[in-house]
Structure 1
């Protein structure tokens, strides 16, 4: 039987790959209003804020956006988007002039999106807890937004904020990518199974 270390390494590697795929290929995880209009992925939330605040050059933002734009074009059998026109495609031009009213109101969603993107990047080297923290903070921010919107009788929360089932998949992948915690869980499961077997054998002897 394979050791807990090998099992943890295998599961963590698979989960990390899935998490990177979910984030960087822009699988919709939620729907929320942001500077560019409606954002459905942490990449879109992060990109809209970074380019509006002019934190990074446009080339960095385009590099974040291109994998997802390429994947969407393949799935829809449409023309591969031009790298130079990515900002227009995502409606990220002139965002520094956007009004404060259209800015993302929930800081948890913004901070969680930053951490989710950073965690997905780190998954290429060695998975850590950043991705898990990011997805959990984002999920909490979305739930918080839904709860606050329910206080308004004239607003239907699901039309403004929505959480896709893929969000739970992202949380699961982020958790399973943490190798050290997986090793502890596998050891606990094996220990409890060994105790159950010994108790069963003692019961047979008596």
Structure 2
């Protein structure tokens, strides 16, 4: 296959894998958030959207529904009613809930937003949004987990933040490989290298 075909196959497959990881809410990390403990960018994003009332709650339900279906399949429990999704994710009355200051964890919040948006956009057009979101998210988690004891908001629970390296690695790699321009450059370099004559 030529460079264009390889590029299309790799970026198409990677973008679908990244979408699956984000929208079916494969756990990537552990982080204290408004609903208690968030395991995915979708949970961080949804909790913030509901609390800020930026968009209608039905939009958040649509975003959460694929992940809710996936969790039901894995746990073999009865499927959640669409109308009760917010209760299932503990997303009711978030404004009254005690939460950490979102601005103190802006990298995690912004990275989650970008990851969710990048996963959606990546289905129709190649963009670096998802990859940048994942990098920002990792930096935010790393920074929070390595703050000095006097600065950290989670100093009383050293295990409050954790990165699940296997799934996070797959998500980051798939986000990167979904960028068509970068994949094309990589494939071109590989073909040039492999086509060079070997000197005896």
Q: TM-score under structure 2 normalisation?
A: 0.92
Residue in structure 1 matched with residue 143 of structure 2 by the alignment: 144
Runs of 4+ in 1 over 4 A off after TM superposition: 149-152
Equivalenced residue count is 196
Q: 2:112 touches 2:137 (CA, 8 Å); kept in 1?
A: yes
Matched, 1:129 2:114: no
Shift, 1:127, TM fit: 2.6
Deviation (angstroms), 1:79: 0.4
Q: Give the Cα separation in 1 of the matches to 2:180 and 2:145.
A: 33
Asked which structure has the greater CA Rg, the reply is 1
**SS at 1:26's partner residue?**
coil
Q: In the alignment, is the contact (CA less than 8 A) between 2:24 and 2:67 conserved in 1?
A: yes
Q: CA deviation at 1:123?
A: 1.8
Equivalent in the alignment of 2:183: 182
Name stretches of at least 5 consecutive residues in structure 2 with no aligned partner: none
Matched, 1:160 2:160: yes
Residue number in structure 1 paired with 2:28: 29
Gaps of 5+ in 1: none
Q: 1:101 to 1:186 in 2, by over 3 A?
A: closer
**1:34 and 1:104 in contact (8 A); partners too:** no
Shift, 1:99, TM fit:
3.2
The 3-state SS of whatever aligns with 1:160 is coil
Coordinate RMSD, CA, aligned:
1.7
CA shift digits 1:48-84 (9 cap, x unpaired): 0011010000000100111101110011111010011
Q: Is the 8 A contact 1:29 1:41 kept in 2?
A: yes
- Change in Cα spacing, 1:129 to 1:74, as seen in structure 2 (3 Å) is same
Change (3 A) 1:62 1:194: same
Larger fraction in helix: 1
